């Protein structure tokens, strides 16, 4: 997620973000949790993370953004160094959050800092994160994404989430996130699920960025002939 959204956090706190929906989860568990349980139960973990610094941002519609992301089983030096490089890349590209597939490494790791600056707020590093509870209250807020340069649009998300994850030592942790922190987490978590932020847009909002998305698809096709990609969905009557 990129910094333009962070610059709007005062607007969000001021109450101008619109409450647009209230949703109830079946049995309190939630569809996302059920899907995640299935995915995590079937995937094999990785023990060594292979990467090359400096990290390069993967842009839409690169297939790596849709690929399966593997659970991390080894908590050693390669993980620590990779997380450090992700934080460097996040700041370099004016981001407030970054997920591993966005730098071409398909593992379940995210970093974020809602302030966009480690001197103004803490850096968060979450390994193998999962959402265990989402609030019924949802709101719309403008988001951007490092993998979609200069594209911004409103996305509907829960206002609060409770998450479980492991830290860089493998310790199991749990925390509740609200407001912008919750939104950034959910944006990056979607990346770990192979979900991109335009997948969350309403049909009306999606139409406002369709030309930009299709232009990125065309650029990618010219630079990577023969590579299969998932294109933005067409409008159905």
Catalytically active residues, by annotation: 188
C-beta pairs of 35-44 under 8 Å, 24+ apart in sequence? 35/193, 36/130, 36/131, 36/193, 39/68, 39/193, 40/71, 40/128, 40/130, 43/68, 43/70, 43/71, 44/70, 44/71
Q: What is the DSSP letter of 32?
A: H
For 188, other C-beta atoms within 10 Å of its C-beta total 27
DSSP per-residue string spanning 103-114: GT--BSEEEE-T
For 66, list phi and psi in degrees, rounded to 5: -110, -5
Paired tokens of 119: 């001197």
Total residue count of the chain as it appears in this document: 237
Does residue 4 contact residue 97 with C-beta atoms inside 8 Å? no
């Amino acid at each position: 997620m990129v910094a333009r959204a962070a610059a709007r956090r005062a607007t969000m706190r001021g109450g101008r973000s619109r409450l647009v929906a209230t949703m109830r989860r079946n049995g309190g568990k939630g569809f996302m949790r059920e899907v995640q349980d299935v995915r995590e139960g079937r995937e094999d973990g990785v023990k060594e993370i292979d990467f090359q610094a400096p990290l390069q941002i993967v842009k839409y519609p690169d297939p790596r953004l849709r690929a399966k992301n593997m659970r991390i089983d080894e908590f050693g030096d390669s993980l620590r160094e990779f997380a450090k490089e992700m934080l460097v890349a996040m700041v370099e590209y004016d981001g407030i959050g970054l997920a591993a597939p966005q730098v071409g490494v398909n593992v379940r790791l995210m970093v974020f800092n809602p302030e966009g600056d480690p001197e103004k707020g803490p850096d968060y590093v979450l390994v193998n994160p999962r959402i265990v509870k989402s609030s019924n209250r949802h709101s719309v807020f403008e988001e951007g994404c490092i993998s979609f340069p200069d594209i911004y649009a409103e996305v509907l998300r829960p206002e609060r989430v409770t998450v479980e994850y492991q830290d860089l030592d493998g310790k199991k942790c749990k925390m509740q996130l609200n407001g912008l922190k919750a939104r950034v987490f959910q944006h990056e978590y979607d990346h770990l699920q192979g979900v991109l932020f335009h997948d969350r847009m309403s049909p009306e909002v999606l139409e406002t960025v369709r030309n930009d998305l299709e232009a990125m698809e065309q650029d990618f096709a010219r630079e990577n002939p023969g590579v299969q990609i998932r294109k933005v969905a067409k409008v159905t009557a």
